[in-house]
Amino acid sequence: MANPQITDITDVTDGAIVSTEWEGSGIFDVLMAAVNKNIEVQYLKGRLKGADYATVYLGSLQAVLAESTQYVHTERQLVLDEEKVRLSKLPSMLK
């Protein structure tokens, strides 16, 4: 079975700093935007303070990066699997 590689990082992130804010539409960018907003709400409500904020942010960053790359890998694997099934049906279609 083929092992798809992430050779184009823009599937994970195409973000850039725009007017002092990070903007992007890759899976990492979208998930981190949601996480950042949630962490901000928790901070503003006083649920996260000091070192807890840094711990939660770092843990979230690591989790989102891992899940983002896994998502892209799985998505590519599904495409390859679909192509394999399609190609396996060709011989019977040619008869």
List, as one string, the DSSP characters of the chain: --------GGGT---EEETTEEE--SHHHHHHHHHHHHHHHHHHTTSS-HHHHHHHHHHHHHHHHHHHHHHHHHHHHHHHHHHHHHHHHHHHHH-
Pairwise pLDDT comparison (33 vs 17), residue with the higher score: 33
Answer whether residue 2 shows pLDDT above 60: no
Confidence of residue 54 (pLDDT cuts 50, 70, 90): very high
**What was the pLDDT predicted at 12?**
75
- Give pLDDT, residue 92: 77
51 pLDDT exceeds 80?
yes
Per-residue pLDDT tens over the stretch 59-78 = 999 999 999 999 988 988 99
Domain boundaries along the sequence of the chain: 25-94
